[in-house]
Amino acid sequence: MENKRHLNTLMVHDKDQYQDQFGAVVPPTYQNSLFTFSSWEAIEQAFEDKINNSIYTRGKNPTVALVEQKIATLAGGDKSKLFASGMAAVSAGMLHFLSAGDHIITLKNIYGPSISLINDFLIPKMNVEVSYVSGNDIDEIIAAIKPNTRLIYLESPSSVIFSLQNLALITAVAKKYDIATAIDNTWATPLFQKPLALGIDLEIHSCSKYLGGHSDIVSGVLIGCKELIDAIHIREYELLGAKMAPAEASLLLRSLRTLDLRMDRHQQSALKIAEFLNAHPQIALVNYPGLANFPQAELAQQQMSGFSGLMSFRLKTNDLVKIKSFFNHLELFQIGVSWGGHESLIYAPAISYLKEQSPEQFKRMAISLGDMRISVGLENVEDLLLDLSQALKLIE
C-alpha cells in the first residue's frame, strides 16, 4: 500500500515514527553525539553492523537517517547519505571514484568550486587528469575516454548557462566502457529529474538550495544503490567526517514536506518571468530550460518533468553605470550568491570574475558585464514582474 502512495504524501507523513515517540507528529531531533549500550555484548553486536546502528553521530544518527530515507525515496534510489554541505557531498563523491593518476571527464561549465576541487586539489595533490567537454556532443565524450577514465561527472542543467546533457545516451556509453557516472542534480531537484532511473550511478544535491528551500541550512546529499552508498558511508563519510548535523536534518525534514508545493510555485513564476524577459527590448538573451525557444527544449521536455526557478539573462547594454543602476534599484530581488530559497535573489557573475581575471581573460570567458543570474522565489509573481520592469526602465 505504502509503495503506491504519491511522493508528496510520503514526504508529509512520518506515521511509522509516531508509535515509539509519544505520538510526536514532528519526529524528535536526536541531538546527541553518542549512543550508549547495556553491555559489552550489546555494543559488540552494534559494531558488527556499523552502518545500520547508531553508535556515534559521525556515522549514523536517527534524525539524519530518517531524512536520508525520505530523500532516497524521493529520488528513487536505495539509499542516501547526508553531508555537511553540497561541496562535502561533491568531494566525497569524486574522491570515492578517483585514485591517484585516474582520469575524470567533466564539463567546462559545472559549478565553480567543483572545477576548483579538480584543478586546485585533485590535479596537484593526486595527479588526477581531467578532460573538459561541452557535454552536448556524445562523440566528444567518447573521444575523451582514456584507459584510466574512472568517472564522468555531469551537471544538467549546468551552472551559468543551464546547458543539458543527454543522460540516457551518456550512461549507455559509460556502461560500455565500465566508467562510473555522477551528476549534480541540484537545479532540477529529485522531483523534476530522476537521473538514477536513466542509469546514473551517483546523484548529488546541494540541499542548501531547493531541498532546504528556506535559506537557513547548508547541507548536501549523495543518493545511489545500497552497495555504493554503504561503501561511501564507511570510507568518505566517516573518515573525512563532513557529517550532517541532526538539527539541520530536522530543518530539512520540515522543508521536504513542502518541496512539491514550493517547486510548483517556483516553476510557474519562473516561466512567466523568463517569458517576460525574453520579450523585453532591453534584454539580449535568456537562459532558461523551460522556455519554448531554449536551444535544447526538446531534450529538456524529454528528460525533465519540470523546471525550477534559477535562470540567467543578458542586458543589452554594456554601460556599467546603467547595469549597476538596474542591479541596485531592484527592491524584491535581493543581492546574494545562493539560490533555491523562498526569497528572490539576483547576482551578476561579472562581480566575481572582474576581480579574479585580467580584462583579456574576462573577454575570453564569454561573460558579459550585463549577465545577470536570478533565483525566482515564492513572492507573488506580479510583484516580481513589476520590480523587474521598474528597474529595466532605468536603462532604456
Judged by the rule CB under 6 A, the positions of this chain that interact with ligand PLP are 85-87, 90, 111, 159, 184, 186, 206, 208, 218, 220, 338
Which of 62/157 has CB closer to ligand PLP? 157
Burial class (CB within 10 angstroms; exposed 0-12, middle 13-18, buried 19+) of 272 = middle
106 contacts: CB under 8 Å, gap ≥ 6: 114, 115, 118, 130, 131, 132, 133, 152, 153, 154
Which of 90/105 has CB closer to ligand PLP? 90
* Phi, psi dihedral angles at 303 (to 5 degrees): -100, -25
**Nearest approach, Cβ of residue 158 and ligand PLP (Å):** 8
Which of 72/207 has CB closer to ligand PLP? 207
**Nearest approach, Cβ of residue 186 and ligand PLP (Å):** 4
Q: How far apart are CA 231 and CA 235, in angstroms?
A: 6
Residues of the chain by 3-state class (helix, strand, coil), percent to 5: 45, 15, 40
* Helices assigned H by DSSP within 13-111: 15-18, 40-48, 62-75, 86-97
Burial class (CB within 10 angstroms; exposed 0-12, middle 13-18, buried 19+) of 196 = buried
Which of 87/228 has CB closer to ligand PLP? 87
The distance from CA 213 to its chain's CA centroid, rounded to whole angstroms, is 12
Which of 32/338 has CB closer to ligand PLP? 338
Which of 111/192 has CB closer to ligand PLP? 111
Which of 275/343 has CB closer to ligand PLP? 343
**Nearest approach, Cβ of residue 182 and ligand PLP (Å):** 12
Which of 233, 184, 185, 260 minimizes the C-alpha distance to 78?
233
Label residue 76 left, alpha or beta by phi (over 0 means left) and psi (-120 to 50 means alpha).
Answer: left
**Is 361 within 8 Å of 295 (Cβ atoms)?**
no
**Nearest approach, Cβ of residue 203 and ligand PLP (Å):** 12
Which of 159/308 has CB closer to ligand PLP? 159
**Nearest approach, Cβ of residue 23 and ligand PLP (Å):** 34
C-alpha cell at 37: 549500550
**Nearest approach, Cβ of residue 116 and ligand PLP (Å):** 11
Q: Which residue is nearest to ligand PLP (CB)?
A: 86
Q: How far apart are CA 396 and CA 381, in angstroms?
A: 23
Please give the helix or strand (H or E) that residue 294 lies within, else none: none
Which of 230/371 has CB closer to ligand PLP? 371
**Nearest approach, Cβ of residue 218 and ligand PLP (Å):** 5
**Nearest approach, Cβ of residue 368 and ligand PLP (Å):** 20
Cα–Cα–Cα angle for 384, 188, 310, rounded to 5 degrees: 25
**Nearest approach, Cβ of residue 220 and ligand PLP (Å):** 5
**Nearest approach, Cβ of residue 184 and ligand PLP (Å):** 5
Q: Which amino acid is at 117?
A: L
Q: How far apart are CA 115 and CA 159, in angstroms?
A: 11
Which of 91/317 has CB closer to ligand PLP? 91
